[in-house]
């Protein structure tokens, strides 16, 4: 299929700075903005078999290195945005829908257990990939089934038994990507759910640097402890490298103070890990996904 038959936009050598929540990152060889799910499937069919493909939603939980990404980046922000109630009462959500929108939609439809999604600064596609969680909730606890897209452009329906699901980690077949999910939720009270979301967002605003560019939580919580506590007792709040700084508000956040490069952020992540391991014997594991190449 020729590109002229597709409805999306293909951008060449596109800077990724404006697509990431940290506001850093190099250039993508190609960036595709799909028109809808069907258009995306058609586009995937046009790619060579050996083409590297990387998906990006809101660009949170992601560090794109300054050398950029070789291959093709699929951006779903503002796309793949269909959301509806299925005949069986489950909720169909495409990969590009922000988690916060899903939380509010479910609350409005008198469905409970999705309120925690309001605290996740990403899309459902990203939440599925990493089993994102917030305030005691986790994405895959409410997943009934998912649609997967493979490198040939074929779509397959899968249930949770096809995946190895752990804390902030989901393993699936290579060259398959999340297109949508069907969420199974309990009946609830709309007013109660909306109040829960309001309380959650107020807590988030008080405890997290929501007014500065960040990726969300940088490190996974080690078993029986909290990454933020370990970083704070290591006295690293406010520590900076270049324009990257450990947040004074929440130690498990690294913020871009305005001039940070991806290299600054990655170097700060490495420094925090080294100091925490040296002083406390705990090797912190990154929650953020670091991709792309170093700048030459």
Are 11 and 43 in contact by the 8 Å Cβ rule? The answer is no
Alpha-carbon distance of 215 to 200, in angstroms, equals 18
Strands 289-291 and 62-64, sheet pairing: parallel
Print pLDDT tens along the chain (296 aa). Answer: 455 689 999 999 999 999 999 999 999 999 999 999 999 999 999 999 899 999 999 999 999 999 999 999 999 999 999 999 999 999 999 999 999 999 999 999 999 999 999 999 999 999 999 999 988 899 999 999 999 999 999 999 999 999 999 999 999 877 799 999 999 999 999 999 999 999 999 999 999 999 999 999 999 999 999 999 999 999 999 999 999 999 999 999 999 999 999 999 999 999 999 999 999 999 999 999 999 999 87
**Two structure tokens written together for 151:** 């490198």
Query: Could you tell me the domains of the chain?
Result: 3-75 (3.30.43.10), 83-206 (3.30.465.10), 210-291 (3.90.78.10)
Q: Choose, from 65, 217, 266, 273, the residue flagged as catalytic.
A: 217
192 given a catalytic annotation: no
Residues in Cβ contact with 182 at an 8 Å cutoff, skipping those fewer than 6 apart: 86, 90, 91, 92, 93, 143, 144, 145, 146
Alpha-carbon distance of 154 to 101, in angstroms, equals 27
Q: How far is CA 71 from CA 3, 37, 50, 292, in A?
A: 17, 20, 9, 10
Strands 69-75 and 27-33, sheet pairing: parallel
pLDDT of residue 162: 93
Instruction: Find the angle CA(33)-CA(123)-CA(291) to the nearest 5 degrees.
Output: 70
Q: Choose, from 30, 65, 79, 168, the residue flagged as catalytic.
A: 168
- Reported pTM: 0.92
**Two structure tokens written together for 96:** 């590009």
Alpha-carbon distance of 212 to 68, in angstroms, equals 23
217 given a catalytic annotation: yes
168 given a catalytic annotation: yes
Phi-psi region of 62 (alpha: psi -120 to 50; beta: other; left: phi over 0): beta
pLDDT of residue 2: 52
């Amino acid at each position: 299929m020729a590109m002229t038959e597709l409805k999306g936009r293909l951008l060449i050598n596109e800077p990724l700075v404006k697509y990431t929540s940290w506001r850093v990152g190099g250039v993508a060889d190609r960036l595709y903005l799909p028109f809808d799910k069907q258009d995306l499937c058609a586009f995937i069919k046009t790619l060579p078999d050996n083409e590297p493909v990387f998906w990006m939603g809101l660009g949170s939980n992601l560090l794109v290195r300054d050398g950029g990404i070789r291959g093709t980046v699929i951006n779903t922000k503002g796309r793949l945005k269909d959301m509806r109630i299925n005949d069986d009462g489950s909720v169909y959500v495409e990969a590009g829908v922000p988690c916060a929108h899903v939380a509010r939609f479910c609350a409005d439809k008198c469905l409970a257990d999705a309120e925690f999604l309001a605290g996740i600064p990403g899309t459902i596609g990203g939440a599925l990939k990493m089993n994102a969680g917030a305030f005691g909730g986790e994405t895959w606890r409410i997943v009934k089934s998912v649609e997967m897209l493979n490198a040939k452009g074929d779509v397959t329906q899968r249930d949770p038994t096809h995946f190895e699901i752990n804390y902030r980690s989901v393993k699936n077949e290579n060259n398959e990507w999340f297109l949508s999910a069907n969420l199974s939720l309990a009946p609830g009270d709309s007013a109660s759910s909306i109040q829960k979301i309001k309380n959650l967002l107020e807590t988030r605003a008080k405890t997290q640097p929501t007014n500065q560019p960040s990726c969300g939580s940088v490190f996974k919580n080690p078993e029986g402890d909290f990454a933020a506590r370990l970083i704070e007792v290591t006295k690293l709040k406010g520590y900076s490298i270049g324009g990257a700084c450990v947040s004074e508000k929440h130690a498990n956040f690294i913020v871009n103070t305005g001039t940070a490069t991806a290299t600054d952020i990655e170097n700060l992540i490495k420094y925090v890990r080294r100091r925490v391991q040296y002083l406390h014997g705990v090797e912190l594991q990154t929650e953020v996904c670091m991709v792309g190449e170093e700048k030459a």
